[in-house]
Each structure stands twice: as structure tokens, then as C-alpha cells.
Homo-oligomer: A and B are copies of this chain.
């Protein structure tokens, strides 16, 4: 559940996604918390015997009478869609969405069973929904997940011609109880798994800067990088299911944080108990070129970059110190670079970004 919505912590005009973006909408924090409390009470009012999760988790957990526990999550692609519109490239956003959902429920210890999509659009070329569904289907196949259903709604009064919105819904079952239990402790290590790019967050910032302030378009080369702006921005959100399968099956992963809106500080905080801090050594890996370029072009400070982007780590695993080497090797042998990027220390549920230099 992401009832708080996509978080986009950058102030000002560039922000165009985020759950009610209270701050940006000029709503004060107290009022925002009051709204969140009311939403939480509404959700709580529907609780049934099977519900095993609280408001605000990465995925909702539901215990079946037959045995077995399901995890479900809903998500959208957000404003990465607008890059796809500009580029006229519609066959990747579906894969972004599936992988985002797969990674969300993986943090609850679940592997995917099935996926459904909601595609709403203005009048458009029927090739577009076919391309979008092709991306969804590719993502589903790669994750061993059935595309069990979907809804297509053409609503020209609500969506401009040629535009669409895309949301996804995933159901998995808990296969990795150690991940689900989150029994983490002082001295555990943080292992960061490489992102493929921006994944699905920070697009309002990136679009505002690249298309707005710098006047670039998708076919222009990204200043100082190899590829075009569109190629870099549309790189597909990585699924961590395969790289993490072995270590999770072996019970060597004790918690996972999917680094989405809010970045490393916002998402690592969601898995911390009250008495632990996460110390992230920002010098232990190099942020990929696109993030360094965005920071430079936008003259943006480190903290804001870390709150807005994944900075090159799309997933962070909590691992016992003596198992770090084994887990790291397993992940890398599946083709995903991994970095020892910090540890858990006694504290109060805070995430501290430090450069051990």
C-alpha cells in the first residue's frame, strides 16, 4: 500500500507527482497529517480477519483461510509516461510498471502470481495500447507472472487525444518468510543493488530541468553522456526478483527496501525498527553518470538529490555481516552489480547519509 502516494520531495513548480503533495500544494504539514490520519482510519474501518498489514506498507498482506499469505500492491507509472509520449515510445512503460510492482511486493517477501492493468486514454492510435500491453506482457513473462486481466477505458472527455494513464495491480504470495519478518539488528550490513536508471521516480525534477530549463528534447544527446535524453530517461525499471531469488531462498536476506519516491532516506526508514539507525556510506559506490549530470546541471545539493532519486541503488538488502560476501556474489553472478553501502547501528529509526571518504 502506498496510500501516501508517490512522494516527490523537490519544492516548487517542477514537482508534478506525489501523494496530494501537501507541501507543494501549500497545505501545511499538520493538515496533511490530519488527512493521512483520516485515510488511515477509513482503511482501518475495512479490516477483515485476513488482513496482516498496516497502513503505509510496501504491499498489503492477506492471510488465506486455505493457508498461505498473499501480498498485493497497486501502482502507477507516474510522469515517466510523459517522456514516453514525447518519445512516441510506448512499449517500455508497461515493463516499468510490472517491475516496480514486483519489487514492491518482494520487500514483503512475496513472489508474483498475477498482474492486472488499468489503461485509460483519450482517442489514440490502437497501436499504442497494443505496444503498452506488449510491455506489460514482457514484464510479466520475465517475472513468471500471469497477466490475468485488465481494463481499458477510452475517455476522450478526460484524457487528451494521444495520451493515457497506466496503473497496475499485482498479487503475490509470501515465499521468503525471512524477508517478510524483518528481523534485523545492530551490526547488520546494507547491500545496495544497482539501479538501471531513474526507474520510476524523480521524473518531474528531470523533466523540468532537461525539457524545461535546458530546452532539450528526447532525441538530443544528454550533455556529457553517451545516449539521448529519451534513451536514458526511458531505461526500464529493474526487477530484482532474479538477482535476489537465490539469497532469499537461502534465508540470507532479512529485509528489503525498494528505493522509490523519497529515495534512500525515505524508503530505508520504512523498514527500520525504532531502536536502529541506518548509516549509509555515500562514498561506497559512485552514483551513475545521469545522476551526477542532473546534480551538476541543476546545481542541486546532495541531500535533495538523495531525496529525489535512487542515486543508483534501486533496492537495498539487509544482510548479516558474515553472509555479505556470499549474498553479494550471488547477486552479481545474476548480472546485477551490488555494493556494501552501510550498516545498522543503535539509534532511533533515522537514516544517516555519511561519506566515510
Q: How far is the CA of A81 from the CA of B153 in the complex (A)?
A: 13
Instruction: Give CA–CA (A61, B6) in the complex, Å.
Output: 30
| Partner of A167 from B6, B53, B118 at Cβ < 8 Å | B118
Q: Mark A207-225, 1 if CB is under 8 A from B, else 0.
A: 0000000000000000000
Which residues from B are CB-within-8-Å of A72? 114, 116, 148-149, 169, 171
Do B158 and A116 touch across chains, with their CB atoms under 8 A apart?
no
What is the interface residue range for chain A against chain B?
A: 35 or more
Report if A243 contacts B (CB, 8 A). no
Contact, CB under 8 Å: B20 / A129: yes
Closest partner residue, chain B, to A119 (CB atom): B5
A150→B3 CA distance, assembly (Å): 5
Residue from B45, B70, B82, B146 within 8 A of A50 (CB atoms): B146
Q: A79 on the interface (CB 8 Å rule)?
A: yes
Q: In the complex the two chains form, is A141's CB within 8 Å of B46's CB?
A: yes
A226 at the interface (CB under 8 A from B): no
- Decide: A156 and B53 in contact? CB cutoff 8 A: no
A61 to B1, CA, bound (A): 23
Q: What is the CB-to-nearest-CB distance from A145 to chain B, in angstroms, rounded to a whole number?
A: 7
- Tell whether A113 is near chain B: CB-to-CB under 8 Å: yes
Known contacts A74-B117, A141-B46, A146-B47; decide if A157 and B16 are in contact (CB<8 Å). yes
Asked, given contacts A25-B123, A150-B3, A171-B72, whether A50 binds B114 with beta carbons under 8 Å apart, the answer is: yes
A158-187 with Cβ < 8 A to chain B: 158, 163, 165, 167, 169, 171, 173
Residues of B within 8 A of A75 (CB): 118, 151
Q: A137-B45, A157-B79, A157-B82 are in contact. Are A73 and B149 (CB under 8 A)?
A: yes
Chain B nearest Cβ from A137, distance in angstroms = 4
Given contacts A35-B126, A165-B165, A167-B167, contact A146 B116 (CB under 8 A): no
The one of B50, B60, B62, B78 that contacts A155, using a Cβ cutoff of 8 Å:
B78
Determine how close the nearest CB of chain B comes to the CB of A157; give it in whole angstroms: 5
Copies of the polypeptide in the assembly: 2
Evaluate contact between A116 and B169: CB separation under 8 angstroms. yes
- A130 to B42 alpha-carbon distance, docked (Å): 9
Main secondary structure of the interface of A (DSSP, over half): mixed
| Contact, CB under 8 Å: A43 / B4 | no
**A78, chain B: closest CB distance, angstroms:** 6
Known contacts A1-B148, A16-B157; A76 and B120 CB within 8 A of each other: yes
Bound form: Cα–Cα A233–B32 in Å: 32
Complexed CA–CA distance, A232 and B79 (Å): 36
With A120-B165, A158-B165, A171-B171 known, 6 other A-B pairs at CB within 8 A are: A4-B152, A5-B153, A6-B154, A60-B116, A70-B171, A74-B118
Q: List 23 A-B contacts (CB under 8 A).
A: A1-B148, A2-B152, A5-B152, A16-B154, A17-B153, A18-B153, A18-B154, A19-B152, A35-B126, A35-B129, A38-B130, A42-B136, A48-B113, A48-B145, A64-B68, A64-B173, A70-B171, A72-B171, A74-B150, A76-B118, A82-B158, A118-B118, A171-B171
**A binding-site residues for B, Cβ under 8 Å:** 1-6, 16-22, 25, 27, 31-32, 35, 38-39, 42-43, 45-48, 50-51, 53, 59-62, 64-68, 70, 72-76, 78-79, 81-82, 113-114, 116-118, 120, 123, 126, 129-130, 133-134, 136-137, 140-141, 144-158, 163, 165, 167, 169, 171, 173
